[in-house]
Each structure stands twice: as structure tokens, then as C-alpha cells.
A and B are shown apart, each in its own frame.
Chain A
Amino acid sequence: DTGVSQDPRHKITKRGQNVTFRCDPISEHNRLYWYRQTLGQGPEFLTYFQNEAQLEKSRLLSDRFSAERPKGSFSTLEIQRTEQGDSAMYLCASSLPVRSYEQYFGPGTRLTVT
């Protein structure tokens, strides 16, 4: 399968713990995006990378959130000191730079903070 993959698919953690999610984009896509989706709502933009450079961050991305894409391939999203309000689906998408509007989404990581 050559689509966007995310790991883990589900994560249950206790409040205050740190969690890290991984996204592997489609191989020739050098743009990578993170979105958050809560129940009954559409995805909300968090941040995006072109290659290894993080080019934009949403105000939704508080200081507890950090995203990296060290080699311009896979990306990680870390949430420190998780709160119950962080419970959501975290979606990753990728695109070609010349067609950045055509974004291909992964299956998401469902985070539950207890």
C-alpha cells in the first residue's frame, strides 16, 4: 500500500503523560500536514511541512505540541502533559508541492486522554 500511514491507530493515555504519533507520507510527496478532528467536526489545520521545514503553525498548536520532520520523510507529532481536551483524531495528510491543494489523508490516530 502506497498511501499515507499513521502509527499508532489508537492511543489511550492518562492525563499528564506525553504521547508521540508518527506519519509516513506518500513517498514522492514533500508536503506534509497535521490536522486535528474532534467528534462531529471537520479537520482543523495544525501545521505543515515542506520537506524538513515547518512553514506554518496554527494557533491551535499550543506550546505542549511539537511536530518534527527531521529528514523530510516521516513526521512525528508530540503532545506533552496531555489534557482531556486533547482527545481527538489526529490526521496526517501529504501532497505534492505543485498540487498542494490535493491532500491525501492517512487513517488517523485516535487519542483518548483519561
Chain B
Amino acid sequence: GENVEQHPSTLSVQEGDSAVIKCTYSDSASNYFPWYKQELGKGPQLIIDIRSNVGEKKDQRIAVTLNKTAKHFSLHITETQPEDSAVYFCAAFEFNTNAGKSTFGDGTTLTVKP
């Protein structure tokens, strides 16, 4: 089955700095890679995703890059703000035959210091 590794497990940055979180996956059949933000007491919220036919996707301060050959993908947050503080999860998914089973990384706790 799929295995997703996520690094770092904790990340602390100053407000305004950039944050980068990296994930690797094992199953080359995976073709969809979402990122979730989970705040305390809440469920994960989808913030950005990328499909395997795209190398990069950007949405305002958030961007995701994908390297299919190396089987890794990254989340980039620029101009970080205190409200970006949360746990971020990456996941891998094969949506052609695998109807619903996402495999998640273990999460990165991001702290943005004002």
C-alpha cells in the first residue's frame, strides 16, 4: 500500500517568513495530492491540492509543487501570518481505482511567531 512521509514534524517561523513542508510517497500510481490544515478541535480542511499532470499550483500565499520522478511534493506558504499556525497534513490518493482511501502523512505543527 501507499506510505507517505512528512517532514518536518514541527516548524517555527517568524511572521512574514516563508514555510516549507515536504512529503514523499511510495506508490507511483498515486495521482492526487491534497494538503489539509487542521486547527485545534476541528477536522482537517482542504487548502490546496495538485494532480500528477501538474508540476506546480498556486493560490494566493500558498503553493504546492510536485516531482513525480522523485515522488515528493511540497507545500510553500509565503508571508506567514499568526493565523497560519496549525497542523498541516499531506496526503496521497489514486483516484482512478481507489475510490476513497487517502493515505496521510503524520502532520507538521506550524507555529508562526508574531
Contacts and interface: CB of A to CB of B under 8 A. Distances in A.
Interface of A: 4, 31, 33, 40-45, 48, 50, 55-56, 58, 91, 93, 95, 100-108
A42 B107 contact: yes
B101 interface: yes
Interface in B21-68: 32, 34, 36, 41-46, 49
9 closest residue pairs by CB, A with B: A42-B104, A105-B43, A48-B100, A101-B95, A101-B32, A45-B101, A105-B44, A42-B89, A107-B43
A101 B106 contact: no
Interface residues of B, number: 25
A91 B44 contact: yes
Given A40-B107, A42-B91, A105-B44, A50 B99 contact: yes
Contact of A103 (B4, B102, B106, B107): B102
Given A43-B89, A101-B49, A108 B104 contact: no
Contacts of A43: 44, 89, 102, 104
B106 A56 contact: no
Contact of A42 (B32, B42, B105): B105
B42 A107 contact: yes
